[in-house]
Structure 1
């Protein structure tokens, strides 16, 4: 069963969920934005050491705490490492009051029927068991919608809920993330189809079951309000999806009950060259702005 105190924090807390789950494919870009070029490390091991140092620095910043940050999504390698001398999940909850989540997907298949489904996850049961033992509260998995394709969107949502049920069987809360690409011409139509698919699959869940949803900020404010209010939805969070932090915050503030789960927008403006005082001031200002937009709705 999920930790009751953590569930209450996610369900009712005023704040946002930080996404610190860049995987191998997105790590070089995240490090480059942080001021660490690819020439600064050789090989995957050194790369992951550097991204872990960045994540640890964020997690230990004074303002990164449960007053404004409800949860944090971790990469598997982060879960397996320490922050501040403690296993990462334990550090986040015990020292910062931040609920730990784990990214579990293995990336995306090639585009077909206007969408990119998730690759198979043959080791998911073992990973979920390890995550539960490590004190992880929930998981996150991402698919992508590139067109207003009814059959493609149904396939995305069906896959998300099928795997979500597998995750629920381990006592973990899945964050279901069917990301709509922000640059597509038919984004609003895709969002209409996605809303209907999500409502159908939520209605089919056993009574008393809860999941979380992570959605692209919609073209129409409060488009997903029915999901925010749904009894099977613990919380709806929003991804920044390539919007600047300013634009993501602006859109977020228009959507009642949805809070942020930003990745790139969270680390925007941070640099490896900053002194601790400069870094802590920058992440503090970012946390304040994302928190304000999260609670504005």
Structure 2
């Protein structure tokens, strides 16, 4: 999908001005067993990776086709690579999201985290990224998401994370997509507030180096100081700033987010809290609908 198409322009408009939040449905290999356990499926209930991914796809399909999972409250959805290549109701997932539901599709492209160095974890190498970005564009994906983690207020570690994130972002924008830069600050860090100030300043400096045709989104931990990231949200090169739930409960994440008027949610675990495979469709849809409404209200 080229950057000048009507669909891409409409997706960009929706991401910049729409009301709602982004659903993170991108659990990958390492986080899938935990996601399935929370959904009521233990590891001894499936045999091998293929069955595991089939079950998580079944869960995602149940979410995406739920009555409340619509553009009225959900702006976008972040997909795992296998999900993008899969189908729901006989349609490619990105196609179903955008054309049937009006929800903007994104793709998680990182391959996990490297070992901790200087209080931070940069991303592992991403061989074949350019090919994957081309494939994503063909599927009609709007943008990407790539995650690093910051564990302490170490300036060198934070700078390494930000430098790598913007290097990858350059590849994404060159491919005609919009990157969601996600340098997560661990909510349990004893120096979380200090790390967030260092991170904000490092990102702001990088934003000033972007060209007029380069646009990014930011996915950040809800800051300890409300409004800390407002200057990033106001930057002309930033399409939107979204918040990750980071391990907070749905209620606490929403309460913290509501104090940051220039951030919207991009929750994963908080979105699926209380959902179970054992629930009837009526019970499942009611629980998911309550979560969607709660996250939406915190985002607007």
Question: Normalised by the size of structure 1, how large is the TM-score?
Answer: 0.99
Look up the SS of the partner of 2:211 in the other structure. coil
1:116 maps onto 2:121 in alignment? yes
Following superposition, the deviation at residue 208 of structure 1 comes to: 3.4
Match of 2:251 among 241, 246, 251: 246
1:12 maps onto 2:17 in alignment? yes
RMSD: 0.6
Question: Normalised by the size of structure 2, how large is the TM-score?
Answer: 0.98
Look up the SS of the partner of 1:18 in the other structure. strand
1:72 maps onto 2:81 in alignment? no
Aligned runs of 1:1-297 on 2, under 5 Å?
1-2=2-3, 3-295=8-300
Look up the SS of the partner of 2:218 in the other structure. strand
Look up the SS of the partner of 2:212 in the other structure. coil
Following superposition, the deviation at residue 40 of structure 1 comes to: 1.0
Q: Which whole-Å CA distance do the structure 1 matches of 2:257 and 2:81 have between them?
A: 28
Following superposition, the deviation at residue 141 of structure 1 comes to: 0.2
Following superposition, the deviation at residue 12 of structure 1 comes to: 0.3
Q: Structure 1 unaligned runs (5+)? A: none
Following superposition, the deviation at residue 243 of structure 1 comes to: 0.5
Q: Which whole-Å CA distance do the structure 2 matches of 1:101 and 1:134 have between them?
A: 10
Following superposition, the deviation at residue 257 of structure 1 comes to: 1.7
Look up the SS of the partner of 2:145 in the other structure. strand
Q: Which whole-Å CA distance do the structure 2 matches of 1:122 and 1:27 have between them?
A: 22
Instruction: Output one character per residue of 1:48-70: Cα deviation in whole Å (capped at 9) or x when no partner.
Output: 00000000000000100111000
Look up the SS of the partner of 1:58 in the other structure. helix
